[in-house]
Structure 1
Amino acid sequence: MSNTPEISALRREYVAAGLHRDDMLADPLAQFGEWMQAALQAHPDDATSMTLATADADGWPAARIVLLKRYDADGFCWFTDFRSEKGQHLQQNPQAELMFYWRGLERQVRIRGRVEQLTHADGETYFHQRPRGSQLSAAASTQSHPVDHRTTLEQRVAALDNAHAEGVIPCPETWGGYCLVPQQYEFWQGRENRLHDRFRYILTASGWMLERLQP
């Protein structure tokens, strides 16, 4: 396969300050919190966007962008339709990886772990915090499944809106949240000449182990 010259010739230089072992906190969640705050200050609209990578029972991978909605000592949470492709994957193989990329800061964080489904009460609480239009779209759509035409979706949304014009839109049992419980973190800082800084935290029986990785 030949390279496309317009792509292969592209270059970018990383100029951010380095990342040293002494800079890294003992708790990777606290380290993530510092980086997230910096990202929120620099680019608040995109800071919580993360790539969610899953794989089905046969090992076929899939990745997509979702939004982080909560993170704490219990894990990293997002919400979706359980019938979606990611929902089906997580039912077959409840292991996943999250990746945050903050271009302006030349930083990347990868978080790997097992995924647990949140309670319906958790999903319902967040569902009713969303704008009404988002609630209607989520309730009317069977995410990732084929549909004959966009008009069909629009008609479903309109019918649901009319059916609940005077009341609350019920949160479907098929919609809710997931929580990834970290077993590994990797923090990446871009550096000149591609000699990037990478640090990995691995959860062991005695706590978090920190090691530097080659770029």
Structure 2
Amino acid sequence: MQPQDVAAMRRQYLAAGLDESELAGEPMDQFDRWFADAVKSGVDEPNAMVVTTAGADGQPSVRTVLLKGYDRRGFVFYTNYGSRKGTEMDANPRVALLFPWHPLGRQVIVTGLAERVGRDETAAYFRSRPHGSQLGAWASEQSRPVASRAELEQRYTDLAARYPEGEGVPVPPFWGGYRIAPLTVEFWQGRENRLHDRLRYEAADATGWRVERLQP
């Protein structure tokens, strides 16, 4: 049942630490620094983030999506509004994000509030997607059951015939972006002997942030 000794699997983190004096004044500026480090170091899909939502009943759900933009307003990704995450964010906008940059011994953990981005922003991003991804957004009723793989592929084939390469694909009305406006942003740096550095920004008021160190 358990072919390997899972309990014995551990990594000793020997990277330099994270000190309060090194932090940027704004969490998104600090994120920008660490994101650049992740890209430069060759982390596979550095924009991959784990998104946790919860429905009105409080039951959480989790999945990995790709970050498609960020600025001081927050983190943006795109999905089907009717997907599980879409319906849950519409019912309960409280969301958590996790960027797991394991090769660097780093994580960024975010809590925040989700809101839909404007349709102009959604349309601009949709038109930048590869043709096949545009068709895929129409073909999949995301998170809903489907009888077979063949049925899903047939929908795609029908759409490809209707909108061949080079012909504009309309933006689905049921698809768009969400921006997660951060309330807290934690920067986690692995350290030796499990004495990790955890520095968390927390929104203090409308104009500023306070930083606190958390015990590992």
- The verdict on a shared fold, with TM-score over 0.5 as the criterion, is yes
Q: Distance in 1 between matches of 2:94 and 2:48?
A: 19
Q: How does 1:121-140 map to 2 (within 5 A)?
A: 121-140=120-139
Q: What is the alpha-carbon root mean square deviation over aligned residues? A: 1.6
Q: What is the Cα deviation at residue 4 of structure 1?
A: 7.9
Whether 1:181 aligns to 2:166 is no
Unaligned runs of 5+ in 1: none
**For residue 63 of structure 2, what is the aligned residue in structure 1?**
64
Unaligned runs of 5+ in 2: none
Secondary structure of the residue aligned to 2:5 is: helix
Identity %: 45
Q: How does 1:22-37 map to 2 (within 5 A)?
A: 22-37=21-36
Q: Distance in 1 between matches of 2:201 and 2:211?
A: 5
Q: What is the Cα deviation at residue 132 of structure 1?
A: 0.7
Whether 1:200 aligns to 2:200 is yes
The TM-score, its normalising length taken from structure 1, stands at 0.95
Letter in 2 for 1:24: L
Deviating beyond 2 angstroms after TM superposition, the runs of 4 or more aligned structure 1 residues are none
Secondary structure of the residue aligned to 2:132 is: helix
Q: Distance in 1 between matches of 2:28 and 2:89?
A: 23
Contact 1:120 1:173 in 2 (8 A): no
Q: Distance in 2 between matches of 1:74 and 1:23?
A: 22
Q: What is the Cα deviation at residue 109 of structure 1?
A: 0.4
Contact 2:43 2:103 in 1 (8 A): no
Q: What is the Cα deviation at residue 127 of structure 1?
A: 1.1
The size of the alignment, in residue pairs, is: 214
Q: What is the Cα deviation at residue 44 of structure 1?
A: 5.1
Q: What is the Cα deviation at residue 5 of structure 1?
A: 6.1
Letter in 2 for 1:80: T
Letter in 2 for 1:49: A
Q: From the superposition, tell whether residues 123 and 194 of structure 1 become closer, same or farther in structure 2 (CA, over 3 Å).
A: same
The TM-score, its normalising length taken from structure 2, stands at 0.95
Q: What is the Cα deviation at residue 63 of structure 1?
A: 1.0
Q: What is the Cα deviation at residue 189 of structure 1?
A: 0.2
**For residue 98 of structure 2, what is the aligned residue in structure 1?**
99
